[in-house]
């Protein structure tokens, strides 16, 4: 199964008239179990695109098909929304209940599940994000730290058991520890439960270290759709559209400029260390 984007084009309207398209002829497939990193300059269409993945936005041109369910068909959207979980920027701002338990339980209750199943899902989701149910269930979400609130908000989405998890800048505003915790959670979700991760990020290092595929959007069009290694090897092209590359790639570029011969496809510290080890073997 997969998410198939079929020639999707979308334009917002103003005064009943369409504006210039925000998305233009997007056509690719997001494979089940992958970690898709989405990058692009401000205004490139990233957030507009991900809102199409569960029908928050729909277009008459092209289609988004999730596990065979076409979101252009209104009757299919409820099914897709049970498959696709959405985490927007600063999701903790959407916390509202008196306790963490009730906040996390909101989605499962809307799914009309029985109380035993709701309790089971809430406890499992809280445990998964690193919030001990015994310690945190009865606490007010507004008494938590920033990182804890972010994890509580994500737990509310996970409690609905999404097959695809879409996140728009999930580490925005977090300190380094909070960032590492969220990324570790996403990796755990993907490797242990098979959840497909679709993440918008401005951090090229996070994308390089975690994504299996990278989507580069430029003025609403697909500029690149490839592995992190192949995308970041095109550093000059990325820089021309206002994007950076991972820190280790910048180092490799500088080493090449100074006369060394380093593969431009290196985009993680691990890959760089592996290259050094291989070089030592042949020295």
Counted residue by residue, the chain has a size of: 283
In this structure, what CATH number is given to the domain that contains residue 150? 3.40.50.300
Please name which of 218, 215, 264 lies closest in space to residue 240, comparing C-alpha atoms: 218
Q: Is the dihedral of CA 253, 256, 262, 264 positive or negative?
A: positive
Q: What is the pLDDT of residue 283?
A: 62
- For residue 80, give the DSSP letter: H
Residue 125 lies in a domain: yes
Q: What is the pLDDT of residue 145?
A: 85
- Report whether pLDDT(94) > 90: no
Span 118-133, average pLDDT: 92
Residue 144 lies in a domain: yes
Q: Which residue has the tokens 């065979």?
A: 68
Residue 271 lies in a domain: no
Which tens digits make up the pLDDT trace of 3-38? Answer: 999 999 999 988 878 888 999 999 999 999 999 999
Q: Looking at the DSSP assignment, which residues form a beta bridge with residue 224?
A: 216
Residue 36 lies in a domain: yes
Greatest CA separation for the chain: 68
Give the least confident one: 222-231, 237-246, 259-268. Answer: 259-268
220 phi and psi, to 5 degrees?
Answer: 85, 0
Q: Which domain holds residue 154?
A: 2-245
Span 59-66, average pLDDT: 92
Span 112-137, average pLDDT: 92
Q: How many domains does the chain have?
A: 1
Average pLDDT, the chain: 91
Q: What is the pLDDT of residue 147?
A: 82
- Report whether pLDDT(244) > 90: yes
Q: What is the pLDDT of residue 234?
A: 94
- Report whether pLDDT(196) > 70: yes
Span 124-153, average pLDDT: 90
CA distances from 235 to 40, 247, 257 (A): 13, 12, 14
Residue 30 lies in a domain: yes
Which tens digits make up the pLDDT trace of 65-82? Answer: 999 999 989 899 988 988
Q: How far apart are CA 252 and CA 254, in angstroms?
A: 5
Give yes or no for a contact between 246 and 204, defined as CB atoms under 8 angstroms apart: yes
Residue 262 lies in a domain: no
Q: What is the pLDDT of residue 230?
A: 96
Give the least confident one: 8-12, 74-78, 141-145, 177-181. Answer: 177-181
Span 225-232, average pLDDT: 96
- Mutual orientation of helices 176-188 and 146-158 as an angle, nearest 10°? 20
48 phi and psi, to 5 degrees?
Answer: -60, -40
Which residues are within 8 A (CB) of 224 and not within 5 positions of it... i.e. 6 or more apart? 214, 215, 216, 230, 231, 234, 237
Q: What is the pLDDT of residue 93?
A: 82
Q: How far apart are CA 181 and CA 184, in angstroms?
A: 5
Residue 254 lies in a domain: no
Q: How far apart are CA 149 and CA 97, in angstroms?
A: 12
Collapsing DSSP to helix, strand or coil, 280 comes out as helix
Take residue 51 and report the two structure tokens written for it: 């809102």
Q: Which residue has the tokens 């690193």?
A: 130
Residue 282 lies in a domain: no
Using left for φ > 0, alpha for ψ between -120 and 50, and beta otherwise, residue 170 falls in: alpha
Select the highest-mean-pLDDT range: 28-32, 79-83, 141-145, 152-156.
Answer: 28-32
């Amino acid at each position: 199964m997969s998410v198939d984007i079929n020639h999707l084009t979308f334009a917002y309207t103003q005064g009943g008239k369409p504006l210039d398209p925000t998305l233009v002829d997007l056509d690719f497939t997001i494979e089940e179990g992958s970690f898709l990193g989405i990058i692009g300059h401000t205004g490139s269409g990233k957030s507009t695109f991900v809102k199409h993945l569960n029908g928050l936005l729909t277009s008459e041109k092209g289609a988004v098909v999730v596990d065979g369910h076409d979101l252009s068909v209104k009757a299919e959207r409820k099914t897709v929304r049970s498959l696709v979980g959405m985490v927007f920027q600063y999701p903790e701002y959407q916390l509202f209940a008196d306790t963490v338990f009730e906040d996390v339980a909101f989605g499962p209750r809307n799914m009309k599940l029985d109380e035993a199943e709701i309790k089971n899902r809430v406890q499992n989701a809280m445990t998964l994000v690193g919030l001990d149910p015994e310690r945190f269930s009865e606490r007010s979400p507004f008494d938590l730290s920033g990182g804890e609130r972010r994890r509580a908000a994500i737990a509310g989405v996970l409690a609905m058991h999404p097959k695809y998890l879409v996140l728009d800048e999930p580490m925005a505003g977090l300190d380094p520890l909070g960032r590492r915790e969220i990324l570790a959670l996403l990796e755990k979700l993907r490797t242990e439960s098979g959840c497909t991760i679709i993440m918008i990020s401005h951090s090229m290092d996070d994308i390089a270290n975690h994504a299996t595929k990278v989507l580069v959007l430029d003025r609403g069009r697909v500029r690149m759709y490839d592995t992190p290694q192949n995308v970041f090897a095109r550093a000059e092209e990325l820089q021309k559209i206002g994007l950076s590359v991972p820190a280790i790639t910048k180092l490799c570029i500088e080493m090449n400029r100074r006369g060394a011969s380093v593969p431009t496809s290196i985009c993680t510290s691990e890959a760089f260390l592996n290259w050094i080890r291989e070089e030592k073997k042949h020295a």
